[in-house]
A and B are shown apart, each in its own frame.
Chain A
Amino acid sequence: MNTKKKNMTGADIFFECLRREGVEYIFGYPGGAVLKIYERLYDIDFLKHILVRHEQGATHMAEGYAKATGKVGVVLVTSGPGATNTVTGIADAYMDSVPIVVFTGQVPTHLIGNDAFQEADICGITRPITKHNFLVRDISELATTIKQAFYIASTGRPGPVVVDLPKNVINSITEFNYPEKVELRGYKPRIYGHQNQIKKAAMMIQKSKKPLLYVGGGVIMSGGHRELYLLAKENNLPVTMTLQGLGAFPGTDPQSLGMLGMHGTYWANQAVNNCDLLISLGARFDDRVTGKVDTFAKNAYKIHVDIDPTCIDKNVIVDLPIVGDVKHVMAELAAEISEKPDLTEWWEQIETWKQECPLEYDMSDGRLRAQYVIEKLSELTNGDAVVVTDVGQHQMWVAQYYKFNHPRTNITSGGLGTMGFALPAAIGAAFAIKDKPILCITGDGGFQMNMQELATAAYHKLPIKIFIINNSFLGMVRQWQELFHAEKYSFTDLSDSNPDFVKLAEAFDIKAYSVSSISDVEPVLKEALSYNDGPILVDFKVVKEDMVFPIVPAGASISDMIIRRLDPKEMF
């Protein structure tokens, strides 16, 4: 054993730790408190630093990278405003359980609390929105803290971790000592589910006549898509997915019922309403899924598999909780089932629902609709692109009309619903994924929230296809105003203030098109998909008054679903 330890500066220790953690990219922005780190970064070649244009962009890029790869995304920013600008991204990662580590600079320890220049108590600020955070008060803690940060972010239910690095800690010198293992007595995530509970669950599946798998993002995070496929296929079980769960099971498979919940398919929601056994796999019974909790899957026996015990009985009381890694639990569950349930009648029923109310939109007036663009994209990419969406109507249309066939190809802001997520997240994904097209589908509102990152995309010549679904409105808010707020379109009309997106892209030297006719959609999409020399932007000018249907109004029962806009003739 080499007993001779090397003395290193905090900045060198920082990079040595990142090297050992296998970090490939840092998304960051320099500033006073982290200058020493940037000084060292100048000569470092084992990882690549991506200069963002706003720190929020850095956090979403790290999220996009993490969601596309399953690895930890890394952010490096300075103190004060640099740190506070990351807050939205951290909260987003917390809600969607995305493993990221955010390194923030901090004023020297002797100035902490003095209202020093660019000082902000980022640990205090981010405490409720991080899985954990650290203020490194002494250089002797630096290496251990970084090791722990990566371990905490990536294990159990993943999440964001903030490491606050005071300037004097980074500048001081100590002996480098990287711990091999992390030992945290207060943190021991449970991997294997309780055997008897799993046996009981298997028995319930065998006995059930109308079972339903309700799949969330946890299945993708745990890497359990194969286990899910086997469990579902071998037992002929119908699968419905949450927004984050899309991609866990092939969307083109006949056993997929698509998404459930507020904008879920009619048949998926009917299946939830009528099933006798609901098996929740890595999902958290979010209010956008359940609607009114008292009536959610009212007659079903509920099994809930989750790695986070706090998710169990939080929103909906379940009959059989199984705490563990959903990948392992599904494998064991599949092995325990000896007799396949007979589901002929159940499938007939589901088929009837499918025929009753298919997903559809009307193109007869000859005007361009978002749904058409998305459906075409799904066809042209065969459900095998990485699709990064923003928040709003386009996001729901993608969830409905894009048939995700692979895990980690659906990247979207679900829990927090962060507008401005798509472009930076697509950039993060584009650094990681080179063998699939990266589609950034966004709205005209959300796009403008982080459009400064066009510079990042252009500089690195990332072949991102930016599709703006431009209805000149904050469409989802407009939809709620029409349906629930007396048609007062209060501050949602952007038509007089939107920029010319084509000119905007051109200012960044990005190729761009504007499309407003149906016949142009396919050729332009084909061109965009085959263009790989850098980003390309297409501004799709779509119908502004379109709404996402079906919709379950907030807090209503799933059975109160509104299927389509009422024709004035039908209303009287």
Chain B
Amino acid sequence: MLHVISALVENKFGAFNRVVTMFSAKGYNIHSISIGETEDPTISRMTIVTEGEDKVIEQIVKQLNRLIDTIKIIDLTYQPKVQRELLLISVGYQKGTRSEIIDICEIFRGNVVDINNKTLMLEITGPPEKIDAAINVLEPYGIKEIARSGLVALRRGEQSRKNIKEETETNKVGELK
């Protein structure tokens, strides 16, 4: 099963390498990995998509935690989250297929970002399944090149306690009535 792990790491020389080295040294798979600075410039967030049984994932999380340069590791797999991937895809077109491709792009809420007399480049974002679906649908037109960003994900904001409490109380009142 695929797991999404979010790791906050020191924004330092070598930190990314340490994480990747750990994966290769222990023989774990990396499906995708992305890294970027966070709201705190001294911290980077890595989003790692990896595969394994629960026992393996537990070890991965522990091994990541063990690295000195990692600050916080969260397995987002079972958490409410927003996850997105960016796809840049270059598709060939002939007379008549151009508008079809643009239609498809619109259905996926993407943008046309480049065009010449042979190819169109589209930009589509979304969860990985949506990206897979877009690639699938565009396949027959002749895909020239693909670049995928790898997944980025964030846990959804928690509903504050106060709001939840108020809600339940309202409900209770409602029931009593």
Contact B65 A309 (CB under 8 A): yes
Contacting pair A135 B14 (CB below 8 A): yes
B residues near A312, Cβ cutoff 8 Å:
62
Closest chain A residue to B55 by CB distance? A313
Chain B contacts of A194 at CB under 8 A?
none
Residue count of chain A within 8 Å CB distance of chain B: 20
Measured CB to CB, the closest approach of chain B to A189, in angstroms, equals: 10
- Find the A residue at minimum CB distance from B10: A186
Bound together, the chains give a CA A184 to CA B71 distance in angstroms of 9
A131 and B68 within 8 A (CB): yes
- 0 or 1 for each of B1-44: is its CB under 8 Å from A? (1 = yes): 00000000110011001100110010000000000000000000
Say yes or no: A310 contacts B59, CB within 8 Å: yes
Interface membership of B67, Cβ < 8 A = yes
A128 to B66, CA, bound (A): 12
Cβ-based interface call for A308 (8 A): yes
Whether A313 pairs with B68 at a CB distance below 8 angstroms is no
Decide if B68 touches A186 in the complex (CB within 8 Å). yes
Question: Which of these, A128, A131, A309, contacts B21 with CB under 8 Å?
Answer: A128
Complex partner residue of B68 from A124, A135, A184, A314, CB under 8 angstroms: A184
Inside 8 A of B55's CB, which chain A residues have their CB? 313, 317
Closest to A132 in B: B68
Cα–Cα, bound, A188→B63 (Å): 14
* In the bound complex, CA of A314 to CA of B63 (Å): 10
Contact indicator B10/A309 (Cβ below 8 Å): no
Q: Which of chain B's residues 56-81 have a Cβ closer than 8 Å to chain A? A: 58-59, 62-63, 65-71
Of residues B58, B66, B68, which shows the largest number of chain A Cβ atoms within 10 Å of its Cβ?
Answer: B68
Contacts of A305-331 to chain B: CB distance below 8 A: 308-310, 312-314, 317
When the two chains form their complex, are residues B69 and A186 in contact, meaning their CB atoms are under 8 A apart?
yes
Q: Which residues of A contact B71 (CB under 8 A)?
A: 185-186
Give the distance to chain A from B35, nearest Cβ to Cβ, in Å: 16
Contacts known (A185-B71, A186-B10); A308 close to B17, Cβ less than 8 A: no
B residues within 8 A CB of A137? 13
Q: Kindly list chain B residues whose C-beta atoms are within 8 Å of the C-beta of A313.
A: 55, 58-59
Contacts of A310 in B (CB 8 A): 59, 62-63, 66
Q: Which residues of A contact B13 (CB under 8 A)?
A: 135, 137
Q: A interface vs B, CB < 8 Å?
A: 123-124, 127-128, 131-132, 135, 137, 152, 184-187, 308-310, 312-314, 317
Can you name 28 A-B pairs with beta carbons within 8 Å?
Answer: A123-B14, A124-B17, A127-B14, A127-B17, A127-B18, A128-B25, A131-B68, A132-B69, A135-B14, A137-B13, A152-B68, A184-B68, A185-B71, A186-B9, A186-B67, A186-B68, A186-B69, A186-B70, A186-B71, A187-B68, A308-B66, A309-B65, A310-B62, A310-B66, A312-B62, A313-B59, A314-B59, A317-B55
Residues of chain B touching chain A, judged by Cβ–Cβ distance below 8 Å, are 9-10, 13-14, 17-18, 21-22, 25, 55, 58-59, 62-63, 65-71
Given contacts A131-B68, A186-B69, A308-B66, 18 further A-B contacts (CB under 8 A): A124-B17, A127-B14, A127-B17, A127-B21, A128-B21, A132-B68, A184-B68, A186-B10, A186-B70, A187-B68, A309-B62, A309-B65, A309-B66, A310-B63, A310-B66, A313-B58, A313-B59, A314-B59
* A-B CB proximity, top 5 nearest: A128-B25, A310-B62, A132-B68, A186-B71, A187-B68
